[in-house]
Each structure stands twice: as structure tokens, then as C-alpha cells.
Amino acid sequence: MSKHKMKSYEALLALALFFFVLLECSSYYGIALGRTGLDLGLAKQIPSLTANAIGFVSFSFITKRTTEKARKTIAIVGSVIGAASVLYTLVATNPIIIETLKVVTFFLLGYVAAGVHASTAKLFVRSKHLSLSVGVAHAAGLTLQFVTFLLVPFGIIKALLIIAAVGGLVVFDYRSWEASKSIDFAAIKSKLAQKSYSEEMPNGKINDFDEIVVEQPKKLAGYIIALVALFAFLFNSLYGASSQDSQSFSPFILLDSRVVLAVSGIIAGYLFDFKRGRYAGLAMISVAFVALAAILGVEAGGDPNIGRAVFFLADGFFVVFYTSAFLGLAPHMDDPDLWAGMGRTIANVCAIPTSIPAVLFVETGNIVALTVLLLPTLGITIFFLVKAGMLSFHDPKTNENYILRPSDAFGPRTNATAAQANGSSTATEVHNRNPLQPAGNLSTATTAHTESAQATDEVPGKEKANGFAYSLTDSENGEQAPACNKPNRATSAATTIPTANAPAALTPEEKLQMFAQKYDLTERESEILGAVTASEKTLKATAAGMGISLRTVQHHLTSIYKKTNTQTRTGLTRCFSEFPEN
């Protein structure tokens, strides 16, 4: 078993341990507060869930501003404070003190869990089974917590069990942090989502989600945040209508409901991974319709148990959705450590506020108002699913109205756009993944270079006094870029492409490979060439999308300009678009 696979299994185990600790801490402090006779209903969840969300967010903020020694100190001090909070709860009798200890524990748990999510996002960045792995981890955590809930009574043993579990998460965080130092995450990020659709989906069907994820990760993150809030309102309204309580984070779940919750999470993971997440949106909106029907059925006099069963079914889908969505999206963001656990953060923040309206409507008997509120919510949810590309099933080969970016993976769609599509398409801009499905290995054009040839990557580029400078136009005074450099026939006979015998339309991969061979480009130069010629984004945005620095992009562009005898990005784009005729 490879070292990476072993680390991936460790991450999966840590994620399961997090689900277990979250429920076990809720159970532990719920029992402790129950002994005092205090029952605040929904209000009792607000402080702890808020603290947990703050803990998730603070992880990235703190780790990026502290040294390794300081992080070790924080881990040790935090572990001691957390253990003391859990142990002191056994003897505390004041509900305010117990609630304070609960808040401290949940904050520390959020901080540690954020590290688990960040490491999982990095280790599963190439996995085709991220969602299913999350579903399995969720089911394992539920099962373990249920066993301990039945077999381990409230007392010192339960407290020590929680401390040991959190200690395991801390150890995993430290080990994964050390291991991540040897991972060239920037290189991994630059190769995300660039495998051709045609390799695994011959029918060419993709969804807009794949097109948005790398080009506009922040916009997509906003869409998913909105979806998490909307689904939270819908599903918590379902439980509020059937039991007048929020069950999202309750440990007191019966066995049959727990089985439904665990199995639905695994099914959701499989559906979200199937066909690279193409049916994720369809699955979620279908569950939402079922939830809405269950709410109406319960309020019409149906069995509340049916409503609760549907809630647990929906909740399993929901947990896997928001967890895997942000785990998959995180590597594309500027701060992966922050965004990896954003799903849990948003779910925590939305859990109680989204439950209150349903409970109020049910308690006042105003079910009509609740229904009127839920129907537009469902419509808005569909809107955001469409905006995120989760409900789009166009075929780029046959649907002329399907507008891809200039990086059309399947060549021209119409005669009018044939030249443009054939000229600007590259394999490195084909993004065939969504946040629910990390990318597979990159399938790009590669060239056979010796170590001496690879050394050309390090040749210093043309540098100005104030650093590199490039223009998006040929020049400020309108001069045209020089024509492409024609390689010497004696040295490039093997790589020169006879235009007379050239195929009518090269695939993006073939075109990029031939161009790279003709001008003796390195693999990294080929990747950068594809990125800068297939998009009009700024070099800074291109560098961010590839996970490398702006200076690195500028350095390799200087080398490409020299090899192709061009001076500007526009000239290079023209040179590439006219290839192989030039």
C-alpha cells in the first residue's frame, strides 16, 4: 500500500472520529445539563454551535500567523484546556458553568476539526470517491457513537473516551501538517480538473458545474453557501414540523433513525460521485421535494414518524453534500485550510436560525404561512442549483446553445465559431470536475526532455527594473507582434507538422502537444501556454488558478516568448491559434 493511500485512510478515520466526537460531546453535555433540570430547547444549541463555527474559521487564521513552535504550544495548551473542561463537567452543578465548558470544548473541537478537514481535502484531491468516503466516515462515526451511547454510561469513562478521541484528532492534525510540508500542493492544484472529458465520458455530456469550479471558485462558493442555508431551512423545517425540535446535532437518535441516516449518507456519496457528480443537484432537489411533501403530509394529519424518517433520509444527503462540496472546492480557493471545513461552519450557523421559523409556525398553528414560505424557498434553491451548474445536462457536441468558455474541449460547435474554437482550445483549460468530485490525474500533452532540456525552465527571463511586465495587447502604440519563430529544418524535422497532411481539426491535446514539440517547450511551459492562450484572464488570475506564483508564470512566459520569437501574450496567442499553418 502506497504512503499516500495510507495517509488517505488515516484522513478518513480522522473524519469518522470527528463525527463521533461531535455527537458524543453533544450527548455528554446534554446529559450534564439535563441533570441540572435546565431545558432551554433550541436556545441551548446556539452558543456551542456558534463556538464550533468560530473554531473552524480560526484554524486558518491562527496557523498562518504562527510559527511551528507556536502551533505546537497551542496544540498542547488547547488539549489541556479541553481535557479539563470535559473532566470538570462531571462535578459541575451550575448550568451556566456547564454551558461555558461546553462552549470551550466545542470551540476547541472546531479548531481541531478544521485541521482534519483541511488535510482530508489535500489528501483526497485526486480521489474519484471523495463523497462516498465522506458518507462512509459519517456512517462509521454514527455507529461508533451509538455503541458508546448504549454501553458507556455518563461518568469518568465517557469523559476519558472523549479526551482520547480528541487527542487522536490532534495527533492526526500534527502528523498531516508535517506530511503536507513535503507535498507540492501548488503543483497538484495546477493540475486539478484538466483531464479531457472524452476519456471517461465518450458521450461528452458535462454540466456547467465543471465549467464554473476553476474559473470562478469564489462565485461557486457563494452559490454553495446559499444552497447549504436553503437546504438547512427546508430540512430543519421538516423536523420542526414533525417534532418541534432541531435534531441536526442531537445525539439521542433511535437505532432505526440512525440506520436511515447512515445508509442515506452512503447512498448520497455514491450518487454524488457517479458520473463525476453530474446528478448531485438532481439528487438534492429530489430529496428536497420529498421533504416538502412530507411536511405537508404531516401537517395534513399524517404520521409524524414519517416526517422524522424523511428528515433523517434528507439529513444524510445534506451532511455529505455540504462536507464533500467544500472539501472538493477548497483546493481551488486561495485559502484551502479555511474553505475545507466551511460546509460544517455554515451548517452550524444555519442550524438553529433555520429551525426557529418552522417551530414558531407549528406552535401557532399557522401551517399555511409555513407552506407559503417553503414553496418560494424551493424555487430559490432550484435557481441556485442551476447557477452552480448542478442541474445542467447539455451535450456540447450537439447543443449549439451550450456556450463553453474559449477552452471548448470538443472543438468548434458551429461553422461560425470553428476557427476560434480550434484556435484557442487547449487541454489545460478543460475542467471536468465539481466540488463534489475531485479531479482525476491530469492528461496533458507531455514532451520527452532530458535533464538538460528541463534545465531551460531555469533560464532567467527578461526582467525589468521593477520586475516582470507584460501587456495584454501587442503594444501600447498598436504595433503587431512578430511572427512565430520558424525552427531550423535540420533540427526540427521530427517535430515539424506537414500542413498538407494535417488532420482537418486537431484535438486540443494533439495541438498543444505538437506545438510543444515544435518549439521544444517543457511540460510546465506547455501547461502555462495552454492557460494563457485559452483565457483572457489576467496573469495574476491565471497563476492563482494554477496554484503557482505570478513570478513563476512570468518566468516561464519569458522562456516561451524566446522560443517562439514572440514578445507579447497577444502575439503568442496568435502564434498558437495559427498553428500548424504557421
Sequence ranges of the domains in the chain: 3-187+203-387, 451-578
Q: At what angle do helices 255-273 and 304-329 cross, to 10 degrees?
A: 40
Predicted confidence (pLDDT) per residue in 85-123, tens digit:
999 999 998 889 999 999 999 999 999 999 999 988 888
**What pTM value is reported for the model?**
0.64
Helix, strand, or coil here: 125?
Answer: coil
Phi–psi pair at 464, nearest 5 degrees: -90, 170
Q: Which of 140-144, 258-262, 440-444, 486-490 ranks highest by mean pLDDT?
A: 140-144
> What are the cell numbers at 272?
454524488
> What are the cell numbers at 257?
433513525
Q: What is the pLDDT of residue 474?
A: 34
For residue 82, what pLDDT band results from cuts at 50, 70 and 90? very high
Q: What is the pLDDT of residue 157?
A: 93
Sign of CA dihedral 227, 21, 265, 41: negative
36 vs 490, more confident: 36
- Residue that is written with C-alpha cell 441536526 in the block: 248
Q: What is the pLDDT of residue 570?
A: 81
Is the pLDDT reported for residue 130 higher than 80? yes
For residue 225, what pLDDT band results from cuts at 50, 70 and 90? very high
| Integer Cα distance of 16 and 136 in angstroms | 8
**What's the CATH number of domain 3-187+203-387, 2.60.120.650, 1.20.1250.20, 1.10.10.10, 1.10.287.80?**
1.20.1250.20
Q: What angle do CA 363, 369, 371 make, to 5 degrees?
A: 105
| Integer Cα distance of 302 and 314 in angstroms | 18
For residue 193, what pLDDT band results from cuts at 50, 70 and 90? very low
Averaged pLDDT, 334-363: 80
Cα dihedral 250, 252, 254, 259 in deg (nearest 10): 40
Q: Provide the H-helix boundaries in 244-341.
A: 255-273, 280-299, 304-329, 336-339
Q: State what percent of residues in the chain have pLDDT above 70.
A: 66
Phi–psi pair at 314, nearest 5 degrees: -65, -40
Helix, strand, or coil here: 462?
Answer: coil
48 vs 494, more confident: 48
Helix, strand, or coil here: 444?
Answer: coil
Is the pLDDT reported for residue 267 higher than 90? yes
Q: What is the pLDDT of residue 125?
A: 76
Q: Are 332 and 216 in contact (CB under 8 A)?
A: no
Q: What is the pLDDT of residue 529?
A: 87
CA-based max dimension of the chain: 91
144 vs 308, more confident: 144
423 vs 277, more confident: 277
| Integer Cα distance of 323 and 309 in angstroms | 22
346 vs 210, more confident: 346
Predicted confidence (pLDDT) per residue in 179-189, tens digit:
555 454 555 55
| Integer Cα distance of 228 and 247 in angstroms | 16
Mean pLDDT rounded to a whole number for the chain = 72
124 vs 134, more confident: 134
Q: Provide the H-helix boundaries in 300-417.
A: 304-329, 336-339, 342-364, 367-387
Among 276, 284, 281, 269, smallest CA distance to 192 is for 276
Q: State what percent of residues in the chain have pLDDT above 90.
A: 21
Judged by average pLDDT, the poorest of 209-213, 272-276, 308-312, 443-447 is 443-447
Q: What is the pLDDT of residue 322?
A: 93
Q: What is the pLDDT of residue 42?
A: 60
Q: What is the pLDDT of residue 576?
A: 83
Predicted confidence (pLDDT) per residue in 515-537, tens digit:
888 888 888 888 888 888 887 77
Is the pLDDT reported for residue 512 higher than 50? yes
Averaged pLDDT, 148-172: 90
| Integer Cα distance of 225 and 342 in angstroms | 9
